[in-house]
Amino acid sequence: MLDVTKDGQGAAGAPVIEAKGLNLTFHTNDGPVHALKDVDLTINKGEFVSFIGPSGCGKTTFLRTIADLEQPTGGSLTVNGMTPEAARKARAYGYVFQAAGLYPWRTIEGNVKLPLQIMGYSKAEQAERAARVLELVELAGFEKKFPWQLSGGMQQRASIARALAFDAEILLMDEPFGALDEIVRDRLNEELLKLWARTQKTIGFVTHSIPEAVYLSTKIVVMSPRPGRITDVIESTLPAERPLDIRDSAEFISIAHRVREGLRAGYEDA
């Protein structure tokens, strides 16, 4: 397990997402909004990359652009060497939105099966995969429940299960735990790390929390607003094996410090 993550950290992983001089300007009634300006970033296979920065710095926009939900106005962006649109059509990624966004008329199992049904998996395979990913996010036994019968944290886990169900190699997550309390968040962070180690996925993860970013990531991308841009990219030196109390280690604190400095610098620039 240790080797796998090591592999993802180093230069050995092939580039999965490559942005070069990426620009995205929204034209609004109040004039142009530069959501992304000259963004250069390479994410390699198996990396866990966190995006952190103040509100409005373009974290969501960048993730959505990778997912082909927004169109860049300049620069180049490739996903698995393809255009984002081709990658989306090839179902290269699973996307976890900030709100769980489960369909209320489907059971938890039905929600997890939604992408599988759309992608034409056989009934047997749907059942097998749904059971497997629900097991993975510790929701076995809740298959027949409707979303409103579950807590917010459980709903969020179900939405992660939904994104995992179809074996996309990339997982894009936009503040998936933003609305959850600290304790639940810690648990889900731990689970997410295990899941990442087990599945070797490439993960893009948006967060507002410095400890969360440092705890989870192999690479932390610090962004700042107006215009939205990358101000620092920090390669984590933490080991792959990360118990929760690693957050008290000197190394963790020094990385967190560097992230905080990067955030502060962004504020002063703006």
Partner 1 sequence: MSRSIPVLTVVAVLIGLWYLAVIPMNAKWEYDQAARNDRELAFGEMVALTMNQERPVLPAPHQVLIGLYEQTVGCDAVGRRMCRETTPLTVQGFGQRVVESVSSNRSLIYHGLITLNATLLGFLIGTGGGILLAVAIVYNRATDASVMPWAIASQTIPIIALAPMIIVVLNSIGVAGLVPKAIIAAYLSFFPVVVGMVKGLRAPDAMQLDLMKTYSAGGRDVFLKLRLPMSMPFLFASLKIGIASALVGTIVGELPVQRGGLGVRLLSGSYYGQTIQIWAALFAAAILAASLVGIVGAIERRVLKRMGMAA
Ligand X SMILES: Nc1ncnc2c1ncn2[C@@H]1O[C@H](COP(=O)(O)OP(=O)(O)OP(=O)(O)O)[C@@H](O)[C@H]1O
Q: Is 162 helix (H, G, I), strand (E, B) or coil?
A: helix
Among 8, 72, 153, 228, binds ligand X (CB under 6 A): 228
Work out how close the CB of 266 gets to ligand X at its nearest, in angstroms, rounded to a whole number.
12
Among 8, 58, 115, 176, binds ligand X (CB under 6 A): 58
The amino acid at 234: I
Does the footprint of partner 1 cover residue 101 (CB under 8 A)? Answer: yes
Q: Decide: is 89 part of the binding site for partner 1 (CB under 8 A).
A: yes
Q: Give strand pairing partners of 22.
A: 39
Contacts of residue 81, Cβ cutoff 8 Å, sequence gap at least 6: none
Q: Which does 114 bind (CB under 5 to 8 A by kind): Mg ion, partner 1, ligand X, none?
A: partner 1
Q: Taking CB under 5 A as the rule, does residue 207 contact Mg ion? A: no
- Asked if residue 115 binds ligand X (CB under 6 A), the reply is no
Q: Binding residues for partner 1, how many (CB under 8 A)? A: 27
In the block, tokens 């502060």 appear at: 264
Cβ atoms of 17 and 43 within 8 Å: the answer is: yes
Q: For residue 41, how many other CB atoms are within 10 A of its CB?
A: 19
> Looking at 51, 62, 95, 121, which residue binds partner 1 (CB under 8 A)?
95
Please, which residues bridge with residue 51 across strands? 206, 221
How far apart are alpha carbons 22 and 79 in whole angstroms? 13
- Angle, CA 235 vertex, CA 178 and CA 52 arms, to 5°: 25
Q: Which residues bind partner 1 (CB under 8 A)?
A: 64, 67-69, 88-89, 91, 93-95, 97, 99, 101, 103-107, 114-115, 117-119, 146-148, 166
Contact set with ligand X (CB under 6 A) = 26, 28, 33, 35, 55-61, 228
